[in-house]
Amino acid sequence: MLKVQTGQIVEFYSNSCCVMSEGKEYKCKIKGRINLVVGDLVEIEISSANSSSDGLVIKRLERVTALYKSKEKIKKPIAANISHIGILVTKSPKTNLEFIDKWITISKVASIEPFIIFNKIDLLQNRAFQEDQKTYERIGIKTFQISAKLFTNVDKLKKYLSKRTTIFVGNSGSGKSTLSSAITGKEILSKALSNNQGVHTTSVSSLYHVNEMKIIDSPGVRDIGINHLKLEEIILGFPEIINYSLNCVFPNCSHQTDEGCAVMAALKNGDIEESRYNNFIFLSNRELNE
């Protein structure tokens, strides 16, 4: 006799997955051509006649949120049901502000809450991140200063992540795996593996459930394209520009050279950070050129 129960995908491969359901992990094949990613809630079919850990995914439940990557304006989901995106920022290697603003935009468009983690503070002077921190806290972005290596302020971050499903994004060397290991207590190694052709990346995505936290570790989210986003979506990542744009003389203002542009006036007055404005224009123009 077959039994149907719900669960969540905690590990995803190209044509199979592991599903956590009712406190047990099932190795599952996938029925038909269901589009699945780590974090998806699914219905699985298992045999109640034996204690086998094998199952069959028969249905994907509706996603609350989804994170997409895109190429040539074709978007593909890479993780689902995420509540928060943690953007890792380091001085060495240096994280540029464009990376931060792009990920804030990606998060806001997907209705996922972004926050910023300034990592490796043990290698820096205390005030090294202060100006950047002020810039983003001014627009309502939660920030943390930590050292994942030395566990500095990691407990504060864990408290914030309680009852939330989070994915970390950061450039190579930002300490994403070290942070994930520090938070989950599990050894999470970098996905980079060496072979005769150099370095390649495994395609396995995983969800770690520790206490009341869920952490998704997925390759391919270091830097993803946004060419599936429209101009009216890109501006969602810049709430301060939205606020001032409401006072522009013309509703279709480009916020660049138009007469009567309230955004340009706010920029000149210092009410909008120059770096934020420049990244808004850069991301908007890149969308037009792709």
Domains of the chain listed by start with CATH number: 2-60 (2.40.50.140), 66-217 (3.40.50.300), 231-289 (1.10.40.50)
Tell me what the mean pLDDT of segment 148-153 comes to: 94
Q: What is the phi-psi region of residue 211: left when phi exceeds 0, alpha when psi lies from -120 to 50, beta otherwise?
A: left
Phi/psi of residue 152, nearest 5 degrees: -70, 125
Residue 123: pLDDT band by 50, 70, 90 thresholds? confident
Say if residue 266's pLDDT is above 70: yes
pLDDT at position 224, please? 82
pLDDT at position 197, please? 37
Give the whole-angstrom CA distance, residue 233 versus residue 218. Answer: 24
Which DSSP helix (H) or strand (E) runs through 109?
helix 97-109
The tokens describing 107, both together, are 């998060």
Higher pLDDT, 63 or 251: 63
For 94-103, 178-187, 216-225, 232-241, which range has the lowest pLDDT when averaged over its residues?
Answer: 216-225
Q: Which residue has the tokens 């808004």?
A: 280
What are the distances in angstroms from CA 205 to CA 14, 71, 158?
10, 20, 21
**Contact status, residue 221 vs residue 69, Cβ threshold 8 Å:** yes
For 22-26, 30-34, 108-112, 122-126, which range has the lowest pLDDT when averaged over its residues?
Answer: 122-126
Number of neighbouring beta carbons within 10 Å of residue 66: 18
DSSP string, 165-191: EEEEE--TTS-HHHHHHHHHSS----S
Phi/psi of residue 192, nearest 5 degrees: -75, 125
Q: Which pLDDT tens digit goes with each residue over 52-106? A: 679 999 999 999 999 998 876 778 899 999 999 999 999 988 999 999 999 999 9
Phi/psi of residue 142, nearest 5 degrees: -70, 135
Tell me what the mean pLDDT of segment 27-47 comes to: 94
% pLDDT > 70, the chain: 90
Tell me what the mean pLDDT of segment 111-116 comes to: 98
pTM for the model: 0.90
For 40-54, 95-109, 184-198, 276-290, which range has the lowest pLDDT when averaged over its residues?
Answer: 184-198
For 74-78, 132-136, 154-158, 261-265, which range has the lowest pLDDT when averaged over its residues?
Answer: 74-78
